[in-house]
């Protein structure tokens, strides 16, 4: 069964450094997302992306964050200058074509655990 | 403010029984609702999606109901097995594409 893959599984970075998290969505999917989950807390939406544009972003997704689909397969999340509070599990998700609320669920990868020192 | 609550942090049941998990929401009118399973250190795995005009959905041993009047969804696992032990998340979607997640219910099925 097709799946969303994320690399690396664990990233350790010094505060203030840039980090890029990578995702390969399911191949025929058109909608892409990033979520994060701080340890012991709920999954939180960061950003949605469709047709090479951000569709929606949350308050968490400030100027330090950016997303890109550099080629036909990868989808990346960049944090320019990491902070201690960016430490979390970051999940990429994708879904197939269909209007909002259609029977096209979001499928998640297993995440990248980001640790900021 | 919008709130999504899932019942008690942990639910312990005996193998073979039916597990019932609840998801209540306030100040929100979701167009659809999804249930996910999450194992430790893993990403959420999609289980079922139900839309606002649907009352019930089934998939094998799983059943989900959606009551927009009560603002509640129930998720049932019949004939539960130890392998069903995990955290179960409900997630609501509206007219945009983002999912709003509840905090999850940890289910433990013991032999």
pLDDT over 90 (residue A18): yes
CA–CA gap between residue B61 and residue B79 (Å, rounded)? 7
> A108 and B43: CB-CB below 8 Å?
yes
| Interface check B98 vs A, CB under 8 A | yes
Residue of B nearest to A58 (CA): B98
Backbone dihedral angles phi then psi of residue B82, each to the nearest 5 degrees: -55, -30
- Tell if the CB–CB gap between A56 and B45 is shorter than 8 Å: no
Residue-wise pLDDT for A41-63, tens only, equals 999 999 999 989 999 999 999 99
CB atoms B44 and A91 under 8 Å: yes
Bond prior to A18 in cis (omega within 30° of 0):
no
- Answer yes or no: do A109 and B96 touch at CB < 8 A: no
Residues A94-106: pLDDT tens digits?
998 866 545 688 9
pLDDT, one tens digit per residue, over B11-60 is: 999 999 999 999 999 888 888 899 999 999 999 999 999 998 899 999 99
């Amino acid at each position: 069964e097709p799946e969303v893959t994320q690399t690396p599984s664990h990233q350790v970075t010094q505060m203030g450094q840039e980090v890029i998290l990578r995702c390969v969505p399911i191949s025929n999917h058109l909608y892409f997302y990033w979520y994060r989950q701080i340890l012991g807390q709920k999954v939180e939406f960061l950003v949605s992306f469709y047709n090479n544009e951000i569709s929606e972003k949350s308050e968490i997704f400030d100027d330090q964050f950016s997303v890109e689909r550099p080629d036909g397969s990868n989808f990346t999340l960049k944090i320019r200058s990491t902070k201690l509070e960016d430490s979390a599990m970051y999940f990429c998700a994708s879904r197939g074509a269909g209007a909002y609320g259609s029977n096209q669920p979001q499928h998640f990868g297993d995440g990248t655990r980001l640790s900021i020192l | 403010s919008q709130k999504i609550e899932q019942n008690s942090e942990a639910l312990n049941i005996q193998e073979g029984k039916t597990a019932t998990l609840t998801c209540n929401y306030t100040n929100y009118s979701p167009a659809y609702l999804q249930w996910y399973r999450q194992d430790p250190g893993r990403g959420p795995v999609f289980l079922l999606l139900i839309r606002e005009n649907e009352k019930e959905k089934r998939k094998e041993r799983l059943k989900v109901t959606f009551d927009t009047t009560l603002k509640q969804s129930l998720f049932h696992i019949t004939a539960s097995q130890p392998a069903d032990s995990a955290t179960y998340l409900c997630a609501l979607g509206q007219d945009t594409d983002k999912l709003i997640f509840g905090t999850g219910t940890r289910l433990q099925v013991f032999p």
